[in-house]
Amino acid sequence: MRVAVLTVCAGAALVDGGLGHRFSLAGGDAFVVRYRGRVYAYYNRCPHRGLELDWQAGQFFDEQGQFLVCAVHGARYDPADGRCMGGPCRGRALQAVACREQGGLVFVEESTP
- 76 Cβ contact partners less than 8 Å away, ≥ 6 residues apart: 62, 67, 68, 69, 70, 84, 85, 86, 87
Domain of residue 51 covers 2-112
pTM: 0.94
Query: β-strand 105-112 against 99-102: which pairing, if any?
Result: antiparallel
- What per-residue confidence (pLDDT) applies to 113? 67
Each residue's pLDDT, cut to its tens digit, for the chain (113 residues) gives 788 899 999 999 999 999 999 999 988 999 999 999 999 999 999 998 889 999 899 999 999 999 999 999 899 999 999 999 998 888 899 999 999 999 999 999 987 76
- 11 Cβ contact partners less than 8 Å away, ≥ 6 residues apart: 34, 39, 101, 104, 105, 106
Q: Phi/psi class of residue 71: alpha, beta or left (left: φ > 0; alpha: ψ in -120 to 50)?
A: alpha
CATH number for the domain that contains residue 22? 2.102.10.10
Q: How many independent structural domains does the chain possess?
A: 1
